[in-house]
Structure 1
Amino acid sequence: MNEKAYYESVNTKNELKLRELQKELPPFCREFFIGMKASVSSRTLLAYAYDLGIFFDFIHQNNPICAKKPVNEFTIDLLDQISPMDIEEYLDYLRVYEKDGVAHTNDERGISRKLASLRSFYNYYFCKEMITKNPAQLVRMPKKHEKTITRLDVDEVAMLLDEVESGEKLTERQQKFHEQTKCRDLAIMTLLLGTGIRVSECVGLDITDVDFRNNGIKVHRKGGAEVVVYFGDEVRTALLNYLEERNTIEAVEGSNNALFLSLQKKRIGVRAVENLVKKYSKLITTMKNITPHKLRSTYGTSLYRETGDIYLVADVLGHKDVNTTKKHYAALEDERRRTAPKYIHLRDE
């Protein structure tokens, strides 16, 4: 399976799951999902389906009229009967609710995302003039409290890579597997820390996507854009060492061209990379919950500190809007501004 086939496989799985979820939603939702396919990813559509499922369950449980028939029999006129207050009560419900005997909670980000899903849903039908009211647009987004960006310090990066290479602190059982995966794990960790690519982009890489002549890898960004991300000598060395080993492995059918393989000789998955990052990072810091995305933040921080170019950081990380990047690195921007006075001398001493 090449990189294109891998992403097609992911989209197919998302599409099949979406169809299953749609069976539990009102029939008129189908038009929304068809209409949105051209502008959002299959993963986003799936998130919409989950969010709408929670919303209609809430309406079914809390509205006496809606309780009289199942959710999959709701008609579109229901949307005009829902008020902004109904939606605000729904958002309050989201903070803590129970479904199938399991308690669920949402912080401001989770609530904001679900309101954003509802806004997109209502906007679609309102713009199509299929409903006359748009109550979701009248509800204010919850105020988000910016989270502190977790990233590794320079010495922690060195300690992490040393640990991946040595495996000294791993358990005896883990060390047995470490002998088989050390070269691969070091290549993955060095690549993530040295390029800032997303974990989904990492697992989607094919052997043919690596260009050692120009020190670049070809990745598929969100939205389908194909770009080349360049790497330095440390990443080059780690990849070359791993490829010597990779070229001796006969992958299972469908993963022949995959760059990174699991122990089952299949293309490695996102969850497996998340687990290996967690395994090694816990050996060097218990205070920080390190994920592949935190390694991406670590790279962005290092690049910004070295260059001071927020536009370069945005471009390399694949952020469509530089304001997204600025939001993540605002503290560093303030740190740089504080150094400005020392460069200005009004009179020679």
Structure 2
Amino acid sequence: MSGPLGAAAQLQAFEQHLRVEKGRSVHTVRAYLGDLDALDVFLADRGVRSSAEVRLPDLRAWLGSIGAAGASRSTVSRRAAAAKTFFRWAQQTGRITADPSLRLAAPGKEKHLPGVLRAPQAGELLDLAAVAADDDDPVHLRNRAMLELLYASGMRVGELTGLDVDDVDLEAGTARLLGKGDKERVVPFGTPATEALTLWLAGGRPRLATAESGAALFLGRRGRRVDQRQVRSTLQALLAHLPDTPQMGPHGLRHSAATHLLEGGADLRTVQELLGHASLATTQIYTHVSVDRLRAAYQQAHPRA
């Protein structure tokens, strides 16, 4: 790209800033650079010759055109974030004297209430995984341990698949996770997860481990580190045997764990820390789930609902 936003070298420097200083994921970096490429074309069509010439109306017009083309609010919000991040960086590094995006506002992201299991349904799911593990198949022992740990800790599926054996302390009942932005946190898990992990480590993992396994906690049949697709297919295969449960991936267990914690009396800050959310606002979506359930119960039970 060599347009109003600068030559390729400038965009490479910005990419390095996103990866190294901001700790953005590969997917976020790719999305931001694509957004800036689209902005570059838009600005050039408006006759803007350099990033120093960009003004707030230019950016508002760009977002407006994206919305008019039918993009979702979340897409418009992400593109606004890409622009704001770029111009803030450009000003901080002396490439421009004023940041034109300071007052740039984007529509708030749509808040979709996540599909979650009810607590009894989560229990049925994990009971089913335990029954399947009774055949002593090492993969079934692994599946039980993975699902117990996902639900017990509320960890992300990528955090689960990234675990090494030494990241889990069975005595303390804790797991050390590397989350978004390479931020480390320690999360607790309870007795059922401890029991499932103990059985997997003693009687399952040794039978699958090969020279290629390394320190990976969870392994596939060929001894390689388990991937997110395998975790998803494991969960969905078990859910298919349970009536009236929502279709969901591993993130659904994370949603379920957070919702059940709040329903059980945990405070938002505790749940935020457990889930590794940078912002409390992200955690607050689970209060909506809990309130919706409370409202449904009220309308069903109260004589003047």
TM-score, with length taken from structure 1 = 0.70
Does the Cα contact within 8 Å between 1:55 and 1:90 map onto a contact in 2? no
Does the Cα contact within 8 Å between 1:163 and 1:280 map onto a contact in 2? yes
Does the Cα contact within 8 Å between 1:215 and 1:230 map onto a contact in 2? yes
User: For the residues of structure 1 that align with 2:269 and 2:239, how far apart are their CA atoms?
Assistant: 29
Structure 1's 154 and 335: CA in aligned 2 closer, same or farther, altered over 3 A? closer
Does the Cα contact within 8 Å between 2:137 and 2:204 map onto a contact in 1? no
Residue pairs, 1:297-312, within 5 angstroms: 297-312=255-270
Does the Cα contact within 8 Å between 2:24 and 2:181 map onto a contact in 1? no
SS of residue matched to 1:138 = coil
Map of 2:171 onto structure 1: 213
- Identity level (%): 23
Question: Which one of 191, 203, 215 corresponds to residue 161 of structure 2?
Answer: 203
User: For the residues of structure 2 that align with 1:90 and 1:55, how far apart are their CA atoms?
Assistant: 11
What's the CA shift for 1:296? 0.9
Map of 2:4 onto structure 1: none
Map of 2:62 onto structure 1: 90
User: For the residues of structure 1 that align with 2:265 and 2:253, how far apart are their CA atoms?
Assistant: 18
Question: Which one of 288, 291, 310 corresponds to residue 249 of structure 2?
Answer: 291
The alignment status of 1:80 with 2:45, answered yes or no, reads no
Does the Cα contact within 8 Å between 1:108 and 1:143 map onto a contact in 2? yes
- Encode CA deviations 1:131-172: one digit per residue, 9 max, x unaligned: 2443333331113332223211112212322443456xxxxx
Map of 2:300 onto structure 1: none
- Encode CA deviations 1:163-184: one digit per residue, 9 max, x unaligned: 43456xxxxxxxxxx9562221
The alignment status of 1:261 with 2:261, answered yes or no, reads no
What's the CA shift for 1:203? 0.8
RMSD (CA atoms): 3.3
User: For the residues of structure 2 that align with 1:90 and 1:31, how far apart are their CA atoms?
Assistant: 24
The alignment status of 1:322 with 2:304, answered yes or no, reads no
Map of 1:6 onto structure 2: none
Gaps of at least 5 residues in structure 1 are 1-24, 67-75, 98-104, 168-177, 337-349
Residue pairs, 1:19-34, within 5 angstroms: 26-34=8-16
Structure 1's 62 and 221: CA in aligned 2 closer, same or farther, altered over 3 A? closer
Map of 1:53 onto structure 2: 34
Map of 2:209 onto structure 1: 250
- Encode CA deviations 1:205-230: one digit per residue, 9 max, x unaligned: 11222222222222223343433322
May I ask how many residue pairs the two structures share in their alignment? 286
Residue pairs, 1:56-135, within 5 angstroms: 56-57=37-38, 59-60=40-41, 63-64=44-45, 78-94=50-66, 106-135=71-100
Question: Which one of 147, 150, 155 corresponds to residue 120 of structure 2?
Answer: 155
Structure 1's 285 and 54: CA in aligned 2 closer, same or farther, altered over 3 A? farther
User: For the residues of structure 2 that align with 1:79 and 1:283, how far apart are their CA atoms?
Assistant: 57
Does the Cα contact within 8 Å between 1:80 and 1:132 map onto a contact in 2? yes
- Encode CA deviations 1:72-110: one digit per residue, 9 max, x unaligned: xxxx9522334434433433454587xxxxxxx742122
- Encode CA deviations 1:264-298: one digit per residue, 9 max, x unaligned: 21111223323333343344367734122221121
Residue pairs, 1:12-23, within 5 angstroms: none
- Encode CA deviations 1:48-89: one digit per residue, 9 max, x unaligned: 3333324324543784478xxxxxxxxx95223344344334
What's the CA shift for 1:202? 0.7
Map of 1:22 onto structure 2: none
Structure 1's 79 and 278: CA in aligned 2 closer, same or farther, altered over 3 A? farther
Does the Cα contact within 8 Å between 2:139 and 2:204 map onto a contact in 1? no
User: For the residues of structure 1 that align with 2:93 and 2:218, how far apart are their CA atoms?
Assistant: 46
User: For the residues of structure 2 that align with 1:133 and 1:222, how far apart are their CA atoms?
Assistant: 31
Structure 1's 143 and 213: CA in aligned 2 closer, same or farther, altered over 3 A? closer
Does the Cα contact within 8 Å between 2:117 and 2:245 map onto a contact in 1? no
User: For the residues of structure 2 that align with 1:89 and 1:279, how far apart are their CA atoms?
Assistant: 47
- Encode CA deviations 1:108-134: one digit per residue, 9 max, x unaligned: 122212211110001111233312443
Does the Cα contact within 8 Å between 1:52 and 1:118 map onto a contact in 2? no
User: For the residues of structure 2 that align with 1:165 and 1:96, how far apart are their CA atoms?
Assistant: 51
SS of residue matched to 1:217 = strand
User: For the residues of structure 1 that align with 2:37 and 2:181, how far apart are their CA atoms?
Assistant: 29
What's the CA shift for 1:33? 2.7
The alignment status of 1:238 with 2:210, answered yes or no, reads no
Residue pairs, 1:123-202, within 5 angstroms: 123-165=88-130, 181-202=139-160
Does the Cα contact within 8 Å between 2:163 and 2:216 map onto a contact in 1? yes
Does the Cα contact within 8 Å between 2:115 and 2:246 map onto a contact in 1? yes
Structure 1's 333 and 321: CA in aligned 2 closer, same or farther, altered over 3 A? farther
